[in-house]
Amino acid sequence: MTTPVCTGASRAVAAAAGHPAHVPYASFSSYVRARGPVLLRTARSLTANPSDAEDLLQTALTKTYVAWERIEDHRALDGYVRRALVNTRTSQWRKRKVDEFACEELPEQEVVPAPDPAEQQSLRDAMWRAVLKLPDRQRAMVVLRYYEDLSEAQTAEVLGVSIGTVKSAVSRALGKLRDDPELTPVR
């Protein structure tokens, strides 16, 4: 017995037989259970990796599922699925981009030496000592702008001053930090 092809016809036959309208999809499930191992062998013959074969079969079965109601002769389903397997594998092969090259020696990754943590801590300490030398108002603006990452407008709002005041005070503070003798070796 063949399953009706047309959507309307399958619903009409299902309704006449007293079955729910999803009969074609139940027949798809039984087809996959019955023919799955054979189709998987076919997929494995098309790929070198068993996992890729399973993915290939799943993709082909998805295409078959989408076209299930349009397939007129369900006796030829194996041929349809095999054709979907081959077409899918061909598409994958065409889309594949070659990123690997065989060579005699492995390329060594350039090792960038990590900065010394002691030097980093020493630099942080020197920076904080220099910031602590600034007048209170300039120090507050530098901390809000660069350590708290606030904008000039946000810093002005927090301190209750104009944006121009923040700009000029931060500029003077950065000039003092540039001239600080403790920070000279850093530059």
pLDDT at position 24: 57
Q: pLDDT tier at 99 (50, 70, 90 boundaries)?
A: low
pLDDT digits (tens, 9 = 90+) for 70-82: 888 878 888 889 9
Q: How far is CA 32 from the centre of its chain?
A: 32
Q: What is the DSSP secondary-structure string of 20-48? A: -TTHHHHHHHHHHHHHHHHHHHHHHHH-S
